[in-house]
Structure 1
Amino acid sequence: MTGKAQPLPRGGSTRNELKRAARRLFAERGIAAVGMREVVEAAGQRNAAAVHYYFGSKDDLLRELLIDGADLIDARRRAMFDAAEADGPPSLRDVVRANVLPCLDLGGDTGEAETYFRFIVNVQNERRALFHDAVSDHSPGYARYRAHVQRLLAPLSAATINQRLLFAALSLQTLLAAREAAMDRSDTGDHHFWSRPEALAGMLDAVEAILTSPTAG
């Protein structure tokens, strides 16, 4: 039989090992600094063309890694918003919880919980257009969050609300990346600060404070 071999289905063990290794390298070193041969070596593979075989280009790999985590988070967000909206329009605290809690302890087939937020911070810093292109159709739950915040902060101008949403999102990503790094360094999966309920409450407080801070004037 001749012809080009077809990529294995998503979820194959070799494919997953490549994804896990790639996300960690991208999370720890950045996007541009990592070559595909390094990904192959970190995954314990011998075929130097393994990334190309399973994913295509480096950008294709980045998109798949972004979508994997985005889908995990957004499925949880949609479920939380369904529950929060069941008895009428939710409060701002409920909206913030539905946005933040799905980002914790992702699980996933390729270790998303270990490195995803450090990875997306680096993608946004280095390849912002690719990030937005990849996740825009995989974030309906986040769109519901934005719509609720716009409703709850309606007396403010649209420009001010959008600015606060941006600042809150960037701050949350930084907090999540710091939490992820600390938990990743732990041998037990526990951390003296980030595992405490007070840390989670503080993250919710921080996001809510950014959204509701007094206007200058």
Structure 2
Amino acid sequence: MRGEATRQLILSAAERLFAEHGISAVPLRDIGAEAGQRNHAAVQYHFGDREALVTAIMESRGSESELERADLVAGLMLGGVAPTVADVVSAFVRPLAIHIRPDNHYLAFLSLFITEEGGYEGLTNQGVHTGASVITLRALLARLVPDVPAAVLDERWWVTLTSAVHTLARYQAAQLKRAQPVKIDVLIDDLVVYLAAGLVAPTVPGDPRVVAAD
């Protein structure tokens, strides 16, 4: 139990420091000190290295969103009403918004991380599991938008996920600076409509991905 408590302290400290200073800018020993560990090698002992620590943060926080998202996806798949593209986007965005809490720095951390990795798809390249529900949403989207070539839809989907993270992180940062952003429920509703419109937008004439699909 003490070992697990120490892991949680380290995860919390790492998430906050990474969110404030960047993933690669924070020495592991500083994370251990912030977590109240006198042993300079405490982080390495519990997590091994920086990459494993980052993955642990992703999986810990991601599982919180996944629990809520799984229920939303089940409702889309089993409900009596045919889902829309906006429903798919909403099922991704809303479970992310649960992290907008004073003691939670996950969105700022995730925003920085996907920027460093060149987009949300970089997470999978790092071996981070994005969750079965996200995969299901992508498959459902393909059925709802059959006229958009798969390669184009893939890119638009990654842009959708990335934009959602950045927008929510920016909203939370505005809150911390005592700004007066729009209420979160209004922001989410507008974000869902905006991103859904992008997914079904007409393709660009001459796009080689469209030509290849034809």
Matched residue type, 1:114: N
- Partners of 2:122 and 2:47 in 1: CA distance: 16
What residue in structure 2 maps to residue 195 of structure 1? 183
Matched residue type, 1:170: T
CA deviation string 1:115-172 (max 9, x = no partner): 1122123223335697324422x51010111011111111121111112112212211
Residue segments in structure 2 that go unaligned for 5+ positions in a row: 206-214
Q: Aligned residues, how many?
A: 201
Say yes or no: does 1:123 pair with 2:116. Answer: no
Matched residue type, 1:120: L
Say yes or no: does 1:91 pair with 2:81. Answer: no
Question: Could you tell which deviates more after superposition, 157-166 or 89-98?
Answer: 89-98
Matched residue type, 2:104: E
* Offset at residue 197 of structure 1 (A): 2.8
Question: What is the TM-score of this pair, normalised by structure 2?
Answer: 0.82
* Offset at residue 194 of structure 1 (A): 4.4
What residue in structure 2 maps to residue 181 of structure 1? 173
> SS state of the match for residue 204, structure 1?
helix
CA deviation string 1:46-78 (max 9, x = no partner): 221221222222222111111112211122111
What residue in structure 1 maps to residue 156 of structure 2? 164
- Partners of 2:153 and 2:147 in 1: CA distance: 9
Select the residue among 189, 195, 199 that pairs with 1:211: 199
- Partners of 1:26 and 1:79 in 2: CA distance: 30
Say yes or no: does 1:56 pair with 2:44. Answer: no
What residue in structure 2 maps to residue 114 of structure 1? 104
Matched residue type, 1:71: S
Question: What is the TM-score of this pair, normalised by structure 1?
Answer: 0.81
- Partners of 1:199 and 1:165 in 2: CA distance: 20
What residue in structure 2 maps to residue 4 of structure 1? none
Q: Is the CA contact (8 Å cut-off) linking 1:36 and 1:58 kept in structure 2?
A: yes
> SS state of the match for residue 39, structure 2?
coil
Aligned Cα root-mean-square deviation (Å): 2.5
- Partners of 2:102 and 2:77 in 1: CA distance: 28
Q: Is the CA contact (8 Å cut-off) linking 2:19 and 2:108 kept in structure 1?
A: yes
Say yes or no: does 1:79 pair with 2:71. Answer: yes
CA deviation string 1:164-215 (max 9, x = no partner): 11221221121021123233445xxxx6324343212111122112112222
